[in-house]
Amino acid sequence: MKFAAIVAALLAASTICTAAQRAQAPQEKPPDNYSGIFVESNQALFATMCALDAAGFAADESTLSEMPSRLALREAMLRMQGPATEALRQFYRDHQLGDPGETLSRYITFSLVVGPAPRFDFQMNHDLLPPDVLTIEDFREILVAFYEEARLDLQWAKVQPEYERAAAAYGPPVRKIMFTTNTYLREILKPIYDRTFTVYVEPLVGARTNFRNSGSHYSMVVGTTARIPTEQLQHAYLHFVLDPLALQYRKQLESKRALLLVAARAARLPEEYRNDFVAFTDECFIKSVELRLRRLSPAQLESALNDADQTGFILVRPFVAGLQKFEKSEPSMTYYFPDLITAIDVPAEQKRLQSVTFSPEILPAPAQREYDSAAPASELDRLLAQGDREIARQDAKAASATFENILAKYPGLPKAEYGLAIASVMAGNADRAEQLFAQLVSPAPASTTAAKPEDTADPSILSWSHVYLGRIHDLEGEREAAVHEYMGALAVEGAPESARVAAQNGVDEPYKGHPRANGSGNEK
């Protein structure tokens, strides 16, 4: 392909789609200008932030000076009164975290996995919901009631033009990032409807940015327009483009896994990468591409590589060396990536890293240390979080291995048994799933020793285990047994509303979903 044709193709791939193109039926052929890239506002996110306003969350008002109607709306939310508003404020107090950023993060994640107003229904199966959303899943009922009481439909109509202008300001920088990245990687992305990258503009998040991916849908929430967070946008877009490569070449990457044992000794390596070699390699590769896109001087590049080594991202250096060769070649990154993996010499890297001194851990501020010490991240917590991430990625094999490893160390742990049961459903192993769910709903044997809190299934696990058992019985034509399980779910005190709805649906009508649909059962 001639250079002019390549540039034209890349420019076409750097377009930003409209909401109308998003709404087109998935089975239809994408139009020529469809890229799967969107920059827009989000009414569910708007409603969630209004709810946080009313609850007293200290939102960042730094970007509201250019949106006077949104600033006035925030003040109106703080003055709201009514039963739904009071219930909202109580829920917020009951679920507030010590870190405001973490508090905001879980509500933003919630807003990205629910559908449009006024119902805000979850758009994925319960077992695939992100772990931080599961902690506030009952917020959906609260938001539905508050949306009606506060007449947020009318409020949205008033502020939507300002939101659209803010979103328009992000169009040019996002297009530039797309064009620069695609050109460097020599990639012409083939758009498909079930894979999207969306930048949502919500002024109340201020200077914060929040990046999430749910399966094939990547989302970034931004607030400020005074200073566009181009580095964070670049990093998020690189994940969208390059994540599939790391998953596609998982087997080749695993042959280099011994290097993770070295990286894990770095005190500053984030916890999420210590047991997940694919995610670790992917992050190192993205960091290396970022360094090459910055066009650093030799001295600046060496300083950045030293910093990567010292913080545990030890594969950045060999990836940068490989990218320097890639820049002189012709294939696109899709075809060149296996060569980058092959070029990593494990023994040579192990020898090189013997002389690297990892940076010491950065201690948090005293107030933050006090908050962290209340709930330290144990090995068990880390493994459970890893299993949750693998289920979210629909990687049944990896999730099964993780939860089996947990159960080998902590026999009978309900969270691990439930995770293994869900992984078994995803893998199509109905017999194993049924056995595990049955264990979870069986009464604990009498014991003279008081059970520890972690040995007791919580209401969510117990109710959903009954629901899944009911579905398995329905699929096997055992209607009476299925109804018995659904009724068991409805009888669980403290069961989340989503489980109660699923159970009631099961009582009303036999479950007919395929046991492996969407990784588990369909929510009806």
The pLDDT value recorded for residue 450 is: 40
Q: Distance between CA atoms of 421 and 423, rounded to whole angstroms?
A: 5
Q: Distance between CA atoms of 232 and 238, rounded to whole angstroms?
A: 10
Question: Among residues 97, 53, 358, which one has the least CA distance to residue 205?
Answer: 53
Map tokens 């059962």 to a residue: 521
* Fold classified for 388-443+452-519: 1.25.40
The pLDDT value recorded for residue 375 is: 40
Q: Distance between CA atoms of 459 and 490, rounded to whole angstroms?
A: 11
User: 305-337 burial by CB neighbour count: b if 16+ within 10 A, else e?
Assistant: beebbbbbbbbbbbbbebbeebeeeeeebbebb
Question: Among residues 236, 191, 233, 187, which one has the least CA distance to residue 10?
Answer: 187
Q: Distance between CA atoms of 84 and 92, rounded to whole angstroms?
A: 12
Q: pLDDT per position in the chain (524 positions), as tens?
A: 444 444 444 444 567 776 666 655 455 566 666 678 899 989 999 999 999 989 888 765 555 556 667 777 878 888 889 999 999 999 998 888 877 888 888 999 999 999 999 999 998 888 778 888 888 999 999 999 999 999 999 999 988 888 888 888 899 999 999 999 999 999 877 666 578 899 999 887 777 788 888 778 899 999 866 778 899 999 999 999 999 999 899 999 999 999 999 999 999 999 889 888 999 999 999 999 999 999 999 999 999 999 999 999 999 999 999 999 999 998 999 999 999 999 999 999 999 999 999 988 765 544 443 334 334 446 777 788 788 777 766 678 888 888 998 898 888 888 888 889 888 888 888 888 889 989 888 875 544 344 444 445 578 888 888 988 988 888 888 999 999 999 998 988 877 777 787 888 889 888 876 433 333 333 33
Question: Among residues 271, 275, 278, which one has the least CA distance to residue 254?
Answer: 278
Has this prediction a pTM greater than 0.95?
A: no
The pLDDT value recorded for residue 493 is: 84
Give the bridge partners for 213, in sequence order: 218
Q: Which helix H or strand E contains 134, and what residues bound it?
A: helix 131-134
Output the furthest CA–CA distance in the chain (Å, rounded): 79
Q: Could you state, in order of their start, the residue ranges of all structural domains in the chain?
A: 1-235, 249-353, 388-443+452-519
Q: Distance between CA atoms of 517 and 219, rounded to whole angstroms?
A: 24
Q: Distance between CA atoms of 300 and 295, rounded to whole angstroms?
A: 9
**Residues sharing a CB contact under 8 Å with residue 499, sequence separation 6 or more, in sequence order:** 126, 460, 463, 464, 467, 489, 492
Three-state secondary-structure class, residue 144? helix
